[in-house]
Structure 1
Amino acid sequence: MTLHDITATRRGFLAGSGLVIGVAIAPRILAAAQTGVHAGGDPALAPLNAFVKIGTDDTVTVLSKHIEFGQGPFTGLATLVAEELDADWGQMRAVHSPTDNKVYANLSFGLQGTGGSSSIANAYEQMRKAGATARAMLVAAAAEEWNVPASEITVQKGRIQHAASNRESGFGAFAEKASRRTPPAEPKLKDPKDFVLIGTELPKLDTHGKTNGTAIFTLDITPDNLLIAVVAHPEHFGATVKSFNDAEARKIQGVVDVKQVPQGVAVYADNTFAALKGRDALSIEWNLSQAEIRSSEELAAEYVRHFGEPGLEATNRGNVEEAFKAQGLQMLDVEIVFPFLAHAPMEPLDAVFVKADDGSIDIYNGAQFPGFDQSTAAGILGLDEPKVRVNTQLAGGSFGRKAQFGSPYMQEAAAVYAATDGSRPLKHMWTREDDIRGGYYRPMYAHRMRGAINAEGQITAWEQVIVGQSIMAKADLDPTSVEGASNLPYAIPNLKVTSHNVQLAVPPLWWRSVGHTHTGFAVETFVDELFQKIGRDPVEGRLALLKDEPRHAGVLKKAAEMANWGGQVPEGRSRGVAVVESFNTYVGQVVEVSVGPEGAPRVHKVWCAVDCGVAVNPNVIKAQMEGGIGYGLGAVLFDAVTLGKGGRIVQSNFHDYRSIRINEMPDVAVEIIKSSEKPTGVGEPGVPPVGPAVANAWRRLTGAPVRQLPIVNIVSA
């Protein structure tokens, strides 16, 4: 399929007749919907509102304001609509919405964007109302057509019925008529006890296209006369181009041009091979005057020096200093260092730019914050924002990589396109090496933990110092640095948590589960080691400190029950446990490990309990827990981005920054706690508990506490 075919299909999606529904102010949403739906679909649809389209063939298309990169919003949001619409799951479809920070705002952020495990949480009521509104309008249209009271009409599995007159219809027959009606101001929503689809394991809507190869990603978009561009970046963060020689690069067959851009040197070619060969042939001298030239070891030494200095106060209850002076205490004092982590999604960053006849620009990319991408590109290209259309595509993962305020990737892509005359469509691409070495990492962190246990075996004091970069670029306390520690769930009378922000040229970014990636590990390994010090069972010990935290306790109990905690463990294996709340979702995990063939941990089993409120689609929830466990295991066992001597980036691809392999993936069992609380997110919360659970099992098995990640570095040292 060419770009012409894709564009034609998407424009056709706006033609014909049908029904489109939303739940915000109707005229504003109508105008937004009429700008177009940036994905394929049934051509027989007419816009009326923002979130729901109904075709003459009875299909229901949900416009997702959240990008689909594997975490399930297409399926989750469609489930909410289908439930209130009383649709049949087989007629449901989902596409990305247009870009509009007002109409399609994430209600948790106030602008359009996906992140913070917020897709279902922020849209739960909104999308249910969209479905209920569509149902009411269809019923009203049918009642008018059949000349019967609307109260006598029922809807079930996508069929509109009037029993008394023995009449029945699909949605499509009334879609056009319904689209001309005024939406109800407050549509009635179902009582949860009447749910038919919410809470059932429905198949994901995007699975079919992703398994048969018909799903369209940015890399698949190849318009005629396409120009490929790649950029040579420095090997040191903060370095800039001093001079370059492109003579050899221009000799490569297929290379069209070479241009300096703010981020490096761009090579333009007729094909990807020529672009990469041309980039390899460049000779560049870099200015290192503002570059980061310290190694990871040097940075770690500097971080540790901050432990003895006054920090930014995050939490201070009781009196830690006095509590540590008590007589007869057992003390534990540990330091833990966490490395930089790359996001390493399967799809590296890419974007396609195409100029229309009127001078406007279509951009096709996996946009996690499409409004930011639109405004950034418009500014660099010198166009008004309406002249730049961001068409959100399916994306092969992100884990935070594409969620960048200021859109630095789009800054580069737009600068590369702006350096051309725009006569040819352009695809700007990053390779895997570009991505692994490109920065915007989960920052490097160091923790110091001090704890005191009295003669009765009670933890009486806890002090935690956290050192790292501020992701939010704040000079004062960054809540993402201390989340999970500053709100420690354990009932410890004397608690003090402080933070230090360090300045580096390495650009930081949130990584799947953000601060909980390191605070969850630090907290859960430290409390576990305190329990081991006094010979207390780690599950019983935690539960005693969680008497006022029933949801923490609930998932911990369930995970322990699933694993038959306290029962027989196979010889040569040990078990560890952890419980972490992140993004208002509670996850408890028990893992079983042994010493692997190379001396590193081999994780055999993971038992996971999750409390995320109403379980909209258990199938998606379980998949996200499994995926989060695999992602977290890869990081804690193997992954680190390190700066070598002089600050050069060491890792470059999956051979030295590797994911967990299929033969290393443990058996995973997931149980969902039944809940009537509002739904919360599941994209990130499966990650934080698995690392400390593995470290706790490893320490009990080998006697070696984990003080630095990844664990293989300790084993091989």
Structure 2
Amino acid sequence: MTLNTSRRGFLKSAAAAAAVLYVGARADGVLAAGSAPAQLNPFVKIDADGTVTAIVKHFEKGQGPATGLTTLIAEELGVSMEDIKFEFAPSDPSRYANLAFGQFQGTGGSTAMANSFMQYRQAGAAAREMLIKAAAQAWGADASALTIEDGLIKGAGQQAPIAEFVSAAAQMEAPTEPRLKDPSEFRLIGNASVKRKDSPPKTNGTAKYAMDLHLPNQMVVVIARSPRLGGLANGFDDSDAKAVKGYIRAAVLPNQAGVAIYAENTWAAFQARDAISVDWDLANAESRSSDQIRDQLLTAVTADPEYNVNGADQAATAALIDGAEKVVEQTFYFPLLAHAPMEPLTCTIEANEDGGITLHDGAQMPTGPHFAMTEIFQLPMEKIRINTMFAGGSFGRRATPTADYQVEAALAFFITDRTRPVKLVWSREDDITGGYYRPAVAHRVRVGLDSDGNIAGWDHRIAAQSIMKGTAFESVVVHNGVDHSSVEGVADSPYQIPGQHVGLTDVAKATSVLWWRSVGHTHTAYVMESMMDEVARAAGRDPVAFRLALLEGGGKDQQRLAGVLKLAAEQSNWGQAPAGRSQGIAVHKSFGSYAAEVVEISGNADDDVQIEKVTCAIDCGLAVNPDVVKAQMEGGIGYGLGHVMRNEITLTEGEVDQVNFPDYEPLRIGDIGAIEVHIVPSAEMPTGVGEPGTPPSAPALANAIAVNGPRVTDLPMTLNGVSFA
């Protein structure tokens, strides 16, 4: 097998284990090392020449685990960031499971640093102690007198590179409880000058993405998919496609979900697909249009909810609100949204000489496609290999409960003679029209205020298309009928709201729906923070002071949320916007982190709003890589703002209307003037940063617009009364 990439394969290098030190944490938590890598769960690899490699179990789609996890090992081991490399772990959930997902290997939910922090520190610390012990034995010295600095073992009047002791250390038992460095000893963790490990290869072009891979003698396959969810392919006519140079053949996939078109190159595959006529069975396909879906959701939030989420007495809450001095009421609607990562979906599949299969993929959750391929090819797990490559974004799209695109590739390969690799390619149009989407959701909120402007009752109803029901995750996330991803951010809000009732109603999915950057928080934060401003205005209170009053006297959640709220207000000069500008604020907890954002705008809804500045305060516990944290906050803010400004996915009789960036326009660099990120110093365990920047951004913008303009409750903003410069 020949790959156009120089990545060193972990399993291949394991054969030379006699000259390599592997250290990791087994599932039982006991560290182990030695010459039998097949029995280990390695996170650290040290070659005989002293080269240190971090085996990264979370894939890199731009969010930074290749840097963060490598930093933890380098810190504890005692090597510089320049002298440590990284490789992506092989697919093996027994050794590389995401601890937040159970026995499932994957990246998502902003869990990479949170679940791996202690694992990787322990692995680095164990390697350090083993190398020091080997040096101490060789020098006849006391191990406690030795240290490792920048890859050199020093002490007892001696100094030598770690390479000299790798072979001896590899024969030792790893310590079960290695000493972790005290934070006062950190040189790399928390150091803002530590740069990303993946920036140089991405800059010089040596980083290989799944789209870059080109195997010898490969075929390119594209799929003609049903224009409406649920349609099945009965057959096709490829008479015109045969005139396309490079066209090979076409075949209906075994599950009838589409027609696979094979060609010698991507252009020929796309041209041939355009020339093929497919006979679709649409009898059971989706036929609703967006207006019907919208009406169903809005009707559902005006009726009694299907599920009582927080167990509060709905009638008692209604009585509190009806008897209040003032009542503030709003209904919100959120459309379907596409993920639209810059790299469209793609993967390559080939047969191995040993009768196995290799999938080359930007694999966000390798366990799913791994199991799927064992079923498709009727092979044991060990015969399926997944080569994880870089991915150009995901925002959740590369991790589906059905492993949709990997299954497409596997089925397209399965029905060939398997002598040629098959590379599946999605176009941008495939990506925008082919699902999966952030679900459409509606909220209706009624809040009663007493004569002192305090909340007396809060009735919050949500109608949503459930992400988790009907998937393998249902048993974990759905309890008593409630899909927590539909109500997170409301049902578990840190605000201490008296008389609050939360209800949920499920509405039939119009298309495939999926987690989207920050999942349910994408809409719950918008509603909670928009309502906080509306209620504060009705009470005649400053929005910051009003929020702080609902956090006073609480526990750590309330204190940390109040902390970022105060920091963002202070750093943005809250209440002192220059003439002609307005400010809006929002604060939200998601994925264990606390984020507050102030959006400052010029202009108004009728005359081109311009986002001049966003000030962000983030409390994510210990910031392992401050530079990465800031970048993730900036990216999350931009992602949230861009979509709320102008994006939606609509359906006409079940067919998606938008096809490419001209009608699903991403954020432009000129849309935001400046972003400032302020990180709260903390000794708490690290929490998520990939997603928490997104939820507060949109409501902060909405609150800024509402200062001198409309309260936007229907999205996107450009279709509901707001123009942008």
TM-score by length of 1: 0.94
Alignment match of 2:24 (pick from 19, 22, 34): 22
1:244 to 2:236 alignment? yes
- Superposed CA deviations along residues 195-225 of structure 1, whole A, max 9, x for unmatched, are 2211112101000000110001111211111
The structural deviation recorded for 1:505 is: 4.3
> How many positions carry a matched residue from both structures?
700
User: What does the per-residue CA deviation read over 1:574-610, in whole Å, with 9 as the maximum and x for residues that have no partner?
Assistant: 1000000001100000010123798443211000000
Instruction: State whether residues 356 and 362 of structure 1, in contact with CA within 8 Å, keep that contact through their aligned partners in structure 2.
Output: yes
Q: Which residue of 1 aligns with 2:720?
A: 714
2:91–2:366 CA contact under 8 A, matched in 1: yes
In the alignment, the residues of structure 1 paired with residue 117 and residue 637 of structure 2 have an alpha-carbon distance, to the nearest angstrom, of 25
| Paired residue secondary structure (1:556) | helix
Structure 2 partner of 1:609? 617
> For 2:665 and 2:165, how far apart are their aligned partners in 1?
53
1:710–1:32 distance in 2 versus 1, CA, 3 Å: farther
Q: Which residue of 1 aligns with 2:356?
A: 360
Residue 668 in 1 paired to residue 675 in 2? Answer: yes
Alignment of 1:129-208 (within 5 A): 129-162=122-155, 164=156, 166-201=157-192, 202-208=194-200
Mean Cα displacement is larger for which, 10-19 or 460-469?
A: 10-19
- Matched-pair contact (CA < 8 Å) for 1:29–1:103: no
370, 374, 379: which one aligns with 1:374:
370
Asked if structure 1 preserves the Cα contact closer than 8 Å seen for 2:409 and 2:422, the reply is no
Alpha-carbon distance in structure 2 between the residues aligned to 1:289 and 1:689: 42
Matching residue of 2:427: 431
Q: Which residue of 1 aligns with 2:117?
A: 124
- Measured in 2, the distance between the counterparts of 1:666 and 1:506 equals 36
| Offset at residue 656 of structure 1 (A) | 1.1
When structure 1 is superposed on structure 2, of 530-539 and 24-33 the one drifting more is: 24-33
**Residue identity opposite 1:323 in structure 2:** L
- In 2, the alpha carbon distance for the partners of 1:626 and 1:612 equals 14
Distance of aligned partners of 1:268 and 1:34 in 2 relative to their CA distance in 1, 3 Å threshold: farther
- 1:2 CA displacement: 5.1
Partner Cα distance (2:498, 2:164) in 1: 66
The more displaced of 570-579 and 303-312 is 303-312
Which residue is equivalent to 1:701? Answer: 708
Q: What is the aligned partner in structure 2 of residue 677 from structure 1?
A: 684
Q: Does 1:336 align with 2:336?
A: no
- Deviates further, 473-482 or 312-321: 312-321
Q: 1:55 to 1:653 in 2, by over 3 A?
A: same
Q: RMSD over aligned Cα, in angstroms?
A: 2.1
Partner amino acid, structure 2, of 1:696: N
Separation in 2, partners of 1:386, 1:539 = 56
CA distance in 1, matches of 2:268, 2:388: 28
Q: Determine the structure 2 residue equivalent to 1:555.
A: 564
Provide Cα deviations, 1:382-407, integer angstroms capped at 9, x if missing partner: 22221110111111111111122231
| 1:616-627 matched pairs, under 5 angstroms | 616-627=624-635
- 1:210 paired residue among 191, 197, 202: 202
Partners of 1:511 and 1:188 in 2: CA distance: 39
- Bigger mean CA deviation after superposition, 235-244 or 616-625: 235-244
> Which ranges of structure 2 fall in alignment gaps of 5 or more residues?
none
1:267 aligns with 2:276: no
How many Å separate the matches in 1 of 2:35 and 2:511?
39
Task: Rate the CA distance shift 1:27–1:669 in 2: closer, same or farther, 3 A.
Answer: closer
Cα distance in 1 between the residues matched to 2:35 and 2:331: 53
Pick from 279, 288, 293: which aligns with 1:299? 293
Question: How many Å separate the matches in 1 of 2:578 and 2:276?
Answer: 57
Given that residues 113 and 686 in structure 2 are in contact (C-alpha distance below 8 angstroms), is that contact kept between their aligned partners in structure 1? yes
State the match for 1:321 in structure 2. Answer: 318
Q: Greater CA deviation, 191-200 or 543-552?
A: 191-200
Does residue 286 (structure 1) correspond to residue 280 (structure 2)? The answer is: yes
Distance 1:55 1:168 in 2: 19
> 1:516-535 alignment to 2 at 5 Å?
516-535=521-540
- d(CA) in 1 for partners of 2:34 and 2:210? 27
Q: Residues 640 and 204 from structure 1, CA distance in 2 versus in 1: closer, same or farther, beyond 3 angstroms? A: same
Q: Distance in 1 between matches of 2:11 and 2:321?
A: 69
User: 1:181 is aligned with what amino acid?
Assistant: M
- 3-state SS, counterpart of residue 564 of structure 2: helix
* SS of equivalent residue, structure 2 residue 113: helix
2:296–2:507 Cα contact (<8 Å) kept: no
Equivalent-residue separation in structure 1 for 2:40 and 2:388 (angstroms):
21
Return closer, same or farther for 1:8/1:443 CA change in 2, 3 Å cut-off.
Answer: closer
How far apart are 1:311 and its partner, in Å? 2.1
3-state SS of paired residue (1:587): strand
Q: How does 1:470-509 map to 2 (within 5 A)?
A: 470-473=466-469, 476-509=481-514
TM-score scaled to structure 2, two decimals?
0.93
Deviates more, 1:191-200 or 1:390-399: 191-200
**Structure 1 position 518, deviation (Å):** 0.3
| 1:542 equivalent in alignment to 2:547 | yes
Structure 1: runs of 5+ lacking an equivalent: 36-46
Residue 58 of structure 1 contacts residue 91 of structure 1 at CA under 8 Å; is this kept in 2? no
Residue by residue over 1:315-370, the C-alpha shift from the partner in whole angstroms, topping out at 9 and shown as x without a partner, is 2447312212325x111111110010111111111111121222211110011111
Shift in alpha-carbon separation, 1:679–1:354, aligned structure 2, 3 A: same
Match of 1:232 among 201, 224, 227: 224
| Inter-CA distance 595–362: structure 2 relative to 1 (3 Å threshold) | same
| Deviation, structure 1 residue 663 | 1.6
For residues 342 and 601 of structure 2, what CA distance do their matches in structure 1 show? 27
Question: Which deviates more from structure 2 when the two are superposed, residues 422-431 or residues 3-12?
Answer: 3-12
How far apart, in 2, do the equivalents of 1:66 and 1:700 lie? 42
